[in-house]
């Protein structure tokens, strides 16, 4: 056993141990010790996972059997962690995001400081386990631990709105977890094992088996609920809007995307041998991904509550990642992985920047905050930069991912539908954020006058935190996204993919740039600037443009009305989504 | 294995979801969620069941005696623990909402004003 093998469980063990120590010592620790310990643990986890990723890339994926329960011929009873370079890389990124969020949260909670930090450490440990495991039931357990920590963190402030959002979040996601357990049961009924490798062999032997397909659908529904794919997305905006800002950073930057990551993982590591699963992925989910990208973009564009705006934009971007996964090409999958990291860096930053507004200006409503951000202009500069990156600026990690996803588009009509929905989703979300940056920090746009009555509660987060301390993690995350060149990101993604997707080493090549891939980011960026410009300079642009935007108003208003905030409705939508899967699998 | 556990599991899940979709009281709704959860337990235990096999305890049986599958039982036990945590958390949040709002009706507990 090499040193690398011994390190495998530590990204999970370390935060759990630190969390336990902080909880046990509680109030006896000095004032800022729980926060400092949390940041140190998150950084250590990021380092450990990065070492694992690097090691796996050089020496092959290590497999760590807990308690030495290695498989014997025909019988796999043990539970293993297998940190392939891609999974461990994502895990390292999550550790970094947690460290940034915890730095941002420094001084956020005075009274209950250790509880918050313990929950965050539990959340971190669960995500690490979720990324590194290669056992279906173990995946479920980490998924549940992650969920429970997330539910508690959402309702943390115990205010009216946060409790309502947390209740919706908990009920929808618990139902998803139950479906996942049932699905794992179905898979176990056929495969007689839970280990990814053993199940993959059994799935390959089974061919067209309704029980296996049922299991795949149920597990997929649970993971796609976490990933907020249509029509399972209703909980997301409610939860993101009411959670404390540092928690929203983690939700949008890592929890929701790794729902999709988990889905991609089981699709390529467990079910590649099932033709029916392939048909669901390539047919149904490809379309659903396109629809999610467009609907998320439209909803983001129509919000004035800044956290809801960002929440809906996350839905749109996850839709884009899903199209990359569902394109069923290694390049698309590599693109989705790079996109996940780039999006997490940018969206995490944006949630922190909205957190700055909540702390400094006690508001989260775009119209009410008009022009109030002038004195914290550095936050405005960062918001503008993040908006351009989100809107497709051909620069950095996020662009690298978008480029690969775009290169994976299939030929013909489906490919153009994908290009169009990715363009619309990117331009609308980037434009919405750019509009908010212009309005809040530059005071652009018409004076809302008496219409300014905000539909939100009075909200404020802990003030009197130093501005530089809140902006430092934003600069770090954005800096990483901008400074990693797009082509380096593309080559890294192509290099880590073979071990993730069980392909021959070096078999994934970055496709050469085509005319379309060179034009697409500029088109998206132009769209984003146009969307923001029409909203902010309504009186000065040709009248036809606002009128064209107004055509979508009824559609968007209808979409918004569906987000009723009532759990009864959300569960009906979820049942319809399950029925959609069942119908596709049957016919 | 007979078809009965599958039917019972599907039925339990169906009535549970119907209950959640129509509930006007959060405590009742959390109860319905537990009904859905029981459906998965019935399904899992049904999958591991073997007619005529004994419990998977070999203390006083020679190894090799037919026994029901202990793995699904372990899965169910693990999930009962998780399920208890989620129920406790939900009930605690429902209580807090009741303290602040004086209502447990899901249609009146909304995260956004005017939603």
Distance CA A197, CA A54 (A): 22
Please tell me the predicted confidence (pLDDT) of residue A290. 95
Looking up tokens 């902006």 gives A471
Q: Left if phi > 0, otherwise alpha if psi is -120 to 50, otherwise beta: which for A227?
A: alpha
C-alpha A129/C-alpha A531 separation (Å) is: 41
Query: Within a 10 A sphere around the Cβ of B51, how many other Cβ atoms?
Result: 8
- Mean pLDDT is lowest, of A7-21, A130-144, A313-327, A498-512, for A498-512
Which residues of B are less than 8 Å from A564 in CB distance?
110, 115
**Count of C-beta atoms within a 10 Å radius of residue B79:** 22
User: Most distant CA pair in chain B: distance in Å?
Assistant: 67
In this structure, are strands A64-65 and A80-81 parallel, antiparallel, or unpaired? antiparallel
Mean pLDDT value across residues A104-113: 76
Q: Which of A135, A99, A105 is nearest to A18 (CA)?
A: A99
The pLDDT value given to residue A431? 94
Does residue A460 contact residue A362 with C-beta atoms inside 8 Å? Answer: yes
Give the pLDDT confidence score for residue A572 in this predicted structure: 94
pLDDT band at A172 (very low <50, low <70, confident <90, very high): very high
Distance CA(A92)–CA(A53), nearest Å, equals: 8
Q: Is pLDDT above 80 for A459?
A: no
Q: Is the pLDDT of residue A547 over 90?
A: no
Domain boundaries, chain A: 1-134, 135-585
Confidence band, pLDDT 50/70/90 cuts, at residue A137: very high
Residue of A nearest to B21 (CA): A568
> Helix, strand, or coil here: A195?
strand
Pairwise CB contact (< 8 Å): B40 & A305: no
What is the CATH number assigned to the segment(s) B4-101?
A: 1.10.287.3510
User: What's the rounded mean pLDDT across residues A423-444?
Assistant: 93
| Minimal Cβ distance to B90: which of A170, A241, A572 | A170
Mean pLDDT, chain A, rounded, equals 90
pLDDT class of A454 with cuts at 50, 70, 90: low
CB contact residues (below 8 A), chain B span 20-79, against chain A: 20-23, 26, 29, 33, 36-37, 39-40, 43-44, 47, 71-72, 75, 78-79
Has residue A555 got a pLDDT over 70? yes
Which residues 242-261 in chain A show a CB within 8 A of chain B? 242
Determine the 3-state secondary structure of B67 from DSSP: strand
| Domain segments of chain B as ranges | 4-101
For every residue of A273-299, DSSP letters joined together read T-HHHHHIIIIIIHHHHHHHHHHHHHH
Whether the CB-CB separation of A178 and B35 falls below 8 Å is answered with: no
For residue range A65-94, list pLDDT tens digits in order: 998 888 888 788 889 999 999 999 999 999
> Which two structure tokens, joined as six digits, stand for A325?
């996964």
**Is B115–A305 a contact, with Cβ atoms under 8 angstroms apart?**
no
Stretch A438-463: mean pLDDT: 73
Binned at pLDDT 50, 70 and 90, residue A295 comes out as: very high
As a whole-number percent, the residues of chain A with pLDDT over 90 amount to 59
Q: Whole-angstrom Cα distance, residue A373 to residue A439?
A: 9
Q: Is B43 within 8 Å of A568 when comparing Cβ atoms?
A: no
pLDDT range class, residue B108, cuts 50, 70, 90: confident
ipTM over 0.85: yes
- Residues of chain A contacting residue B94, judged by C-beta atoms under 8 Å apart: 167
State whether B115 and A148 contact (CB < 8 Å).
no
- What does the alpha-carbon distance between residue A230 and residue A208 come to, in Å, rounded to a whole number? 27
Q: What is the structure's pLDDT at A313?
A: 95
pLDDT 10s digits, A271-287: 998 888 888 888 899 99
Confidence of residue B115 (pLDDT cuts 50, 70, 90): low
CB pair distance less than 8 Å for B23 and A167? no
Q: How far apart are CA B46 and CA B43, in angstroms?
A: 5
What is the Cα Rg of chain B in Å? 19
**Residue A565: which of B86, B89, B111 has the nearest Cβ?**
B111
| Window from A11-20, A218-227, A470-479, A511-520 with minimum mean pLDDT | A511-520
Nearest to A163 among B29, B37, B93 (CB): B93
Distance CA A26, CA A20 (A): 10
- Is a pLDDT exceeding 80 seen at residue A456? no
Say yes or no: A167 contacts chain B, CB-CB below 8 A: yes
Give residue-wise pLDDT tens across range A206-233: 888 899 999 999 999 999 999 999 889 9
Residue A96 has a pLDDT of 96
Interatomic CA distance for residues A61 and A390, integer angstroms = 33
Across A139-143, A208-212, A401-405, B55-59, least confident range:
B55-59
- Residue A14, number of CB atoms within 10 A of its CB: 21
Query: Which among B75, B107, B112 has the least Cβ separation from residue A137?
Result: B75
Alpha-carbon span A564 to A553, nearest angstrom: 18
Three-class HEC string of A40-96: HHHHHHHHHHHHHHHHHHHHCCCCEEHHHCCCECCECCCCEECCCHHHHHHHHHHHH
Query: Do B4 and B43 meet the contact criterion of CB atoms below 8 Å apart?
Result: no
Q: Average pLDDT, whole number, for chain B? A: 89
The model's pTM: 0.94
Query: Which residue reads 């770090």 in tokens?
Result: A476
- For residue A528, the model assigns a pLDDT of 92
Question: CB A175 to CB B17 under 8 A?
Answer: yes
What would the mean pLDDT of A12-23 be, rounded to a whole number? 94
CA quadruple A263, A267, A268, A270: dihedral sign: positive
Find the mean pLDDT for residues B41-62: 86
- Taking residues B29-46, what's their average pLDDT? 94
Amino acid B114: pLDDT:
61
Distance of alpha carbon B76 from alpha carbon A140, whole angstroms = 12
Angle (CA) A208 A414 A283, round 5°: 20
Across the interface, do A194 and B71 touch by the CB < 8 Å criterion? Answer: yes
Phi first, then psi, for residue A135 (nearest 5°) are: -135, 130
Does residue A241 register a pLDDT over 80?
yes
């Amino acid at each position: 056993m090499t040193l690398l093998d011994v390190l495998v469980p530590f990204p999970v063990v370390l935060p759990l141990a630190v969390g336990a120590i902080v909880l046990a010592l509680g109030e006896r620790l000095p004032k800022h010790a729980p926060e400092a310990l949390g940041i140190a643990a998150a950084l250590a986890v990021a380092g450990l996972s990065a070492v694992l990723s690097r090691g796996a890339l050089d020496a092959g994926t290590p497999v760590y059997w807990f308690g030495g329960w290695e498989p014997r011929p025909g019988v796999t009873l043990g539970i293993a962690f297998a940190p392939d370079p891609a999974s461990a890389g994502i895990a390292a990124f999550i550790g970094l995001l947690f460290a940034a969020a915890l730095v941002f949260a420094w001084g956020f909670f005075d009274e209950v400081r250790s509880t918050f930090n313990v929950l965050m450490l539990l959340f971190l440990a669960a995500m690490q386990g979720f990324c590194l495991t290669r056992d279906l039931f173990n995946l479920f357990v980490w998924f549940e631990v992650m969920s429970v920590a997330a539910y508690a963190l959402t309702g943390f402030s115990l205010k009216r709105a946060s409790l309502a959002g947390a209740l919706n979040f908990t009920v929808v996601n618990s139902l998803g977890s139950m479906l996942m357990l049932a699905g794992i049961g179905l898979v176990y009924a056929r495969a007689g094992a839970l280990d990814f490798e053993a199940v993959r062999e059994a799935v390959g032997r089974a061919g067209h088996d309704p029980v296996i397909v049922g299991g795949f659908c149920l597990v997929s529904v649970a993971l796609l609920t976490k990933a907020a794919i249509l029509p399972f997305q209703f909980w997301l905006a409610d939860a993101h809007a009411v959670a404390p800002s540092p928690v929203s950073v983690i939700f949008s930057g890592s929890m929701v995307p790794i729902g999709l990551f988990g889905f991609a993982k089981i699709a390529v590591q467990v079910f590649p041998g099932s033709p029916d699963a392939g048909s669901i992925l390539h047919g149904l989910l490809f379309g659903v991904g396109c629809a999610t990208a467009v609907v998320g973009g439209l909803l983001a564009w129509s919000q004035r509550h800044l956290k809801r705006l960002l929440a809906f934009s996350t839905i749109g971007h996850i839709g884009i990642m899903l199209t990359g996964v569902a394109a069923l090409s290694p390049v698309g999958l590599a693109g989705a992985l790079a996109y996940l990291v780039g999006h997490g860096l940018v969206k995490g930053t944006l949630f922190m920047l909205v957190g700055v507004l909540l702390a400094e200006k006690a508001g989260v409503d775009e119209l009410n905050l008009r022009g109030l951000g002038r004195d914290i202009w550095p936050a405005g500069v960062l918001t503008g930069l993040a908006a351009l990156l989100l809107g497709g600026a051909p620069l950095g990690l996020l662009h690298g991912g978008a480029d690969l996803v775009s290169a994976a588009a299939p030929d013909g009509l489906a490919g153009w539908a994908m290009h169009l929905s990715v363009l619309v989703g990117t331009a609308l979300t980037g434009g919405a954020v750019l509009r908010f940056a212009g309005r809040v920090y530059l005071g652009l746009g018409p004076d809302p006058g008496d219409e300014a009555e905000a539909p939100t509660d009075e909200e404020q987060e802990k003030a009197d935190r130093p501005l530089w301390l809140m902006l430092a993690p934003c600069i770090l995350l954005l800096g990483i996204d901008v400074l990693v060149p797009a082509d380096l990101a593309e080559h890294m993604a192509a290099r880590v993919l073979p071990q993730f997707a069980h392909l021959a080493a070096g078999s994934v090549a970055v496709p050469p740039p085509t005319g379309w891939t060179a034009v697409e980011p500029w088109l998206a960026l132009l769209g984003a600037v146009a969307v923001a410009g029409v909203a902010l300079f309504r009186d000065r642009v040709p009248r036809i443009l606002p009128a064209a935007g107004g055509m979508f108003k009824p559609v968007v208003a209808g979409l918004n009305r569906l987000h009723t905030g009532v759990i009864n409705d959300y569960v009906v939508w979820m049942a319809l989504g399950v029925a959609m899967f069942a119908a596709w699998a049957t016919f | 294995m007979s078809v009965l556990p599958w039917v019972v599991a599907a039925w339990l899940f169906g009535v549970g979801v119907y209950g959640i979709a129509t509930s006007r009281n959060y405590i009742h709704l959390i109860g319905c969620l537990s009904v859905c959860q029981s459906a998965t337990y019935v399904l899992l235990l049904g999958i591991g069941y073997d007619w005529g096999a004994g419990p998977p305890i070999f203390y006083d049986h020679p190894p090799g005696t037919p026994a029901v599958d202990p793995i699904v039982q372990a899965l169910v036990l693990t999930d009962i623990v998780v399920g208890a945590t989620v129920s406790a958390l939900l009930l605690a949040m429902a209580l807090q909402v009741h303290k602040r709002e004086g209502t447990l009706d899901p249609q009146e507990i909304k995260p956004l004003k005017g939603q």
